[in-house]
Amino acid sequence: MKMKAIITTITLALLLMVSQNLVLGQQSSQQTSQPTAQQTTTTNASQQSSSSGDNSGRGSRTRRTEQPNVSLPQTPSSSTNDANRTSSDATQDTHRSEQQSEEEAAIAASYNNFFEHYRLGPEDVVSITVFGQDRYSKQGITIPPNGRLYHPLIPEGIFVSGRTVEEVTQELKKRLDEYIIDPQVSVSLDRAVSYRYSVLGEVVQPGIKPMNRRLTVYEALGEAGGVLDTGNKKKVFLIRRQADGHLNARLVDVAAIERGRAADNIYLAPGDQIIVPGNRKKTIDSWLKMLPILSFARIFVTGGF
């Protein structure tokens, strides 16, 4: 009986221990599963937060890319500025061209007035036109040294030296009226030789030139063969005698005229002088030409080197 009681007690103790172990195992498994759920919840929460962060980032990036659509004050484009500059420059060029045309018109009037009062002389070339009478018209008549102008109907000729073209026209009309009913006569000056100008200095052909047509300073230099390499084109002087006898010197930048930066509208008057001074090359050439003379002078003074 005692043995049975002992076995029963041991069995109950074992069963109690097993049951306690089972309970403890279930509790530990529950505790282990709870952190996993919490971790899963935390992970989901973090994913949601990260996704929301990404979405917010995308939204912010989207908003940043949409920022240029905001209307800002627009500055004038370069093409508009160029157009404005072009129009203003065109206006200035128009005013400048108008001023130049006015100056040229004034110069032309003065020059034409000069020829109207020009006194004819030997070697001048004139033309006679009798309208409706081609046989009595003649072109390119050179006035001979005796100063008389001859015509088929006036064999003795008309003395024209020292007279203006208008005076000769009236005289010729009066004389032809004896042969032609109401003659319409015109006398024109084709080439004036009596008036002259001079070109001096560094030009190919310096000297006195006949003034036979309307001539600018630049054209006169061309008639003289052009400026030499030793000439200073930036400082060409135009010397003109005034009515009171004083000389007036005007500086002409021929180099600027050649480059198109200055107008070629400076016209000559009878008796004008154009002087082209030498440049630095001319000075050097002058010294080189002087070297043999200086060497000879040194030998002459010192008796040797």
Q: By residue range, what is the domain housing residue 169?
A: 125-191
The CATH number of residue 129's host domain is: 3.30.1950.10
Residues 223 and 278 in one domain: yes
CATH code of the domain covering residue 201: 3.10.560.10
pLDDT mean for each 10 residues of the chain (305 residues): 64 63 55 48 47 45 42 42 48 53 53 67 91 92 93 92 92 93 91 84 92 87 94 94 86 94 90 90 61 48 44
DSSP states along 239-298:
EEE-TTS-EEEEEE-HHHHHTTSS----B--TT-EEEE-B-HHHHHHHHHHHHHHHHHHH
Q: Which of 143, 168, 191 is the last residue of a domain?
A: 191
Q: Are residues 244 and 271 in the same domain?
A: yes
Whether 170 is in a domain gets the answer yes
- The number of beta carbons lying within 10 Å of the beta carbon of residue 198 is 16
Number of domains in the chain: 2
Do 200 and 161 sit in the same domain of this protein?
no
Q: Say what the pLDDT of residue 73 is.
A: 41
- Please check whether residues 206 and 178 belong to one and the same domain: no
Its pTM surpasses 0.75: no
Nearest Cα to Cα of residue 266 among 211, 209, 216:
216
Asked if residue 12 belongs to a domain, the reply is: no
165 assigned to some structural domain: yes
- What is the predicted pLDDT for the residue at 81? 45
